[in-house]
Amino acid sequence: MNKSIIITGLLIFVLAVLSPFWFNFITTTEAAPEPELLGKAKDAEKCVLDKYDMRANHMSLLDEWRDSVVRDADRQYKAANGNMFNMSLSTGEKSCLGCHEDKTKFCDKCHTYTSVDPYCWECHTNPKDLAQGD
Amino acid sequence: MMKKSKRSFLKVAGIAAMGLGASSAINFASSDAQVSTHKKKAKNKEALSAHRWGMVIDTNKITHEIVENIVEACHKEHNVPDFNHEVDTKKYPKTRAVNHKQEIKWIWEEHFHYAFPDKEDEFLAERFHDLPFLVVCNHCKNAPCTKACPTQATFKREDGIVIMDYHRCIGCRFCMAACPFGARSFNFRDPRPFIEDTVPQFPTRTKGVVEKCNFCAERLALGKQPHCVEASHGAIVVGDLENPESEIRELLSEHYTIRRKQSLGTEPSVYYIM
């Protein structure tokens, strides 16, 4: 008697513990979205850092850029491939959005998927949004 | 029990000391690497520079009209909100009613007796009563706001400009209490609904940060004069206070000038030609 109760109890426990796995088996999961490279960013092929470095460390790079621009007034950044960039998120041709022209298809795509909500855009403006707003 | 001789103990200690030395050598090498990454950054070639930026305002050349143009140019280009602006309720449906005491300003017109309370003589020359005085952050040499800021969000740049890093501002408003000139404003609310045309070249601010004049640091970096200078028809001159050959020093040596609340010892960098 006791034996069967214990075994069913154990079965339920194991199923419950493994629920994330079997839940993923029976439901379809979306692949992580790829940020879309459009326009100039597509032609350039190379960003400020290498692709994987950029993927992993773009936030630290932006942090470093901010300190450099605000505190030291240094605004030019020489990238690994020798290109000069303007250390700015959204102003001018040589800024992040100057090349990656569509924020929703680039920044937001991954940030939304990973539930990251950076507050850059509470102050910084997306030139595209401003052009549409008027 | 194993017995250790003095000799074997010293050997082990020696190797351990070498290991410690190696770790500091590695640290030294990696800090060297940081120095080399720093060289990746540079100022714009066209940037204007100074040892200590200063401003001279010629009160003889300033009229109400010029003041209006200057304030408008500055506030427009820096996305300073105007709480008299009618809010687009479709875009911002939940906008609270405006409290005009919470106004935000970088540069504005002031009466002589408010701008210079310690210089009010009993029989002040008549013309000073109506003369518009432009007041702005003084970018003091001994800026009290930078000492009050607990996060170093406001600080003095090498070129004498007192500037803010809005990212670091926690909105404590100690700087506003410390500033004897009322040059700072606090964002009690999201400023965006009150900006008529947002200028893409400059960010807006967000709720909960303090803001003030930045001496148009973003324009100096492009080799351009500040907006107020351009809109002033020659009434405002900016330049290097520490360069005796500069235009601003020439003006200062030729004219009688006053500064606001000099007795407080903050050493303002904005001079007024009387």
pLDDT in tens, A53-85: 888 999 999 999 999 999 999 999 988 778 889
Whether residue B52 contacts residue B160, with contact meaning beta carbons closer than 8 Å, is answered with yes
Contact A91 B200 (CB under 8 A): yes
- Rounded to whole angstroms, how far apart are CA atoms A71 and B193? 29
pLDDT of residue B166: 95
Which residues does B187 contact at the CB level (< 8 Å), separation at least 6? B104, B171, B205, B206, B207, B208, B209, B210, B211
Residues of B in contact with A74 (CB under 8 A): 41-43
Q: Is the pLDDT of residue B206 over 90?
A: yes
* Overall average pLDDT of the B25-44 stretch: 67
How many Cβ atoms are within 10 Å of B123's Cβ, its own excluded? 5
Distance to chain B for A77, nearest Cα, Å: 5
Contact B41 A127 (CB under 8 A): no
Contact B165 A74 (CB under 8 A): no
- Rounded to whole angstroms, how far apart are CA atoms B206 and B166? 9
Look up tokens 């407080």; give the residue: B264
pLDDT in tens, B70-84: 999 999 999 999 999
Distance to chain A for B184, nearest Cα, Å: 18
pLDDT of residue B96: 87
Contact B43 A76 (CB under 8 A): yes
Strands B154-156 and B162-164: antiparallel
Q: Is the pLDDT of residue A134 over 80?
A: no
pLDDT of residue B32: 52
Q: Is the pLDDT of residue B129 over 90?
A: no
ipTM tops 0.85:
no
Which residues does B144 contact at the CB level (< 8 Å), separation at least 6? B178, B179, B180, B266
Residues of A in contact with B44 (CB under 8 A): 75-76
Look up tokens 């800090």; give the residue: B31
The string over B6-40, giving b where at least 16 C-beta atoms fall within 10 Å of a residue's C-beta and e elsewhere, is eeeeeeeeeeeeeeeeeeeeeeeeeeeeeeeeeeb
pLDDT of residue B247: 95
For residue B145, the surrounding DSSP H or E stretch is: helix B144-148
**Which of A71, A72, A122 comes nearest B206 by C-beta?**
A122
pLDDT of residue B1: 58
Q: Band the pLDDT of B261: cuts 50, 70, 90.
A: very high
Decide yes or no: CATH 3.30.70.20 for domain B53-89+98-273: yes
Please provide the DSSP assignment of chain A as one string. Answer: -HHHHHHHHHHHHHHHHTHHHHHHHHS--PPPPPPPP-HHHHHH---SS-HHHHHHHHHHHHHHHHHHHHHH---EEE-TTS-EEE--SSSSTTSHHHHS--HHHHHHHHHHHTT---GGGGTS--HHHHHHH-
Residues of B in contact with A130 (CB under 8 A): 198, 200
Q: Band the pLDDT of B2: cuts 50, 70, 90.
A: low
**Which of B157, B158, B198 comes nearest A125 by C-beta?**
B198
The pTM of this model reads 0.81
Residue A30 sits at the chain B interface (C-beta within 8 Å): no
pLDDT in tens, A75-132: 999 887 788 899 999 888 889 998 888 899 899 999 998 899 999 999 999 988 888 7
How many Cβ atoms are within 10 Å of A42's Cβ, its own excluded? 11
